[in-house]
Amino acid sequence: MTESRIVRAAAVQIAPDLDRPDGTLERVLNAVDEAAAKGARFIVFPETFVPYYPYFSFVLPPALQGAEHLKLYERAVAVPGPVTQAVAAAARRHHAVIVLGVNERDHGSLYNTQLIFDADGSLKLKRRKITPTYHERMIWGQGDGAGLDVVETAVGRVGALACWEHYNPLARYALMARHEEIHAAQFPGSLVGQIFADQMEVTIRHHALEAACFVVNATGWLTDAQVAQVCPEERLRGACRGGNCTAIVSPEGKHLAEPLGDGEGILIADMDLALVTKRKRMMDSVGHYARPELLSLLHDDRPASFVHQPIRSKTAIRSLDHEQHAASDEPSLSGGHGGLGRDADGTTDQRVAVLRR
């Protein structure tokens, strides 16, 4: 029998502070204290919770978003910075792994960023949502493949995705292939209505089953007063209600506690990591149940670079010619056949492609 390893998880569904610049961080730290007092060692907060999810971008036309967008810039999080220092201290104090969603400011751009802090306070992963959804593209830049990673923490191997990234099967598979045991899912909550919550539940339960991992999902919450604040027009307020499904799901697709719908709360459940092996014994999507000779993922895991040095040496030019010649034999999205591309050192070329006959 696989040895039992119990990790107590907490999924936090609370409202942000839309008024005070440091108010949401205070709420985060208080929630960490509360969850840790209940024995939680893995704590997940909603998508871009600090300072708040940009609900305004869903209900205001672009011409009226300027002031709210600039306010978000002013309150956005520098990584590293005072917010990360405070959360790292809380993780260290409680010996807990914390997953926090923030609006990250990197000079002139904002990003939907997920931060994973280990129990010693170290920042193990900073990843940016690879494709903001619909209205979000007015607010955030795009992330890169470097963030599609799984990190070893005090509670196990942890990966994370934000919201509709869970509808990108290749992004999910990139984490599955790195053998995540615990998956942190983050959604904004208080958005779209009940259909959003229903779809969310299907999505996170399916990932738990397919990845054979635990999923800890946190969604945000807006009070009635905050809904009115975000939506001055009463007829639009339904767009900022519902859509909440804070949940903790086992590798067998079962809820480990009753999901949270409306209202604030902290969901607590114990995760027995022995269930990961129990599930994978029957169906390991990145092992004995996979067919890599038929279906494979190529993943460019290099950080985005905005400056490239020009090629100057003849040796480098010859190397580039060789790479271009090799690339002509690689499969592409438009068709073709052949094996996976290889780098000069023999490793698999990490770009996404679909193999077709």
Mind listing the pLDDT tens digit for each residue in 67-83?
Answer: 999 999 999 999 999 99
Is 161 a domain residue? yes
pLDDT on residue 3: 73
Catalytic annotation, residues: 47, 129, 163
Is 345 a domain residue? no
Beta sheet of 97-106, edge-to-edge order: 123-128, 109-117, 97-106, 42-44, 6-13, 265-272
Q: What is the CATH number of the domain that holds 79?
A: 3.60.110.10
Is 253 a domain residue? yes
pLDDT on residue 314: 61
pLDDT on residue 353: 43
Is 144 a domain residue? yes
Is 321 a domain residue? no
Query: How many Cα atoms within 13 Å fall on the side-chain side of residue 83?
Result: 25
* Number of folded domains that form the chain: 1
Whether the predicted pLDDT of 137 surpasses 50? yes
pTM of the model: 0.87
pLDDT in tens, 191-232: 999 999 999 999 999 999 999 999 999 999 999 999 999 999
- For residue 99, the Cα-to-chain-centroid distance in whole angstroms is 9
Its domain, for residue 81, covers 6-282
pLDDT on residue 309: 81
Is 67 a domain residue? yes
pLDDT in tens, 259-272: 999 999 999 999 99
pLDDT on residue 135: 96
Instruction: Give the mean model confidence (pLDDT) for residues 173-188.
Output: 98
pLDDT on residue 310: 81
Is 298 a domain residue? no
Is 328 a domain residue? no
Q: Which of left, alpha, beta for 338 (phi over 0: left; psi -120 to 50: alpha)?
A: left
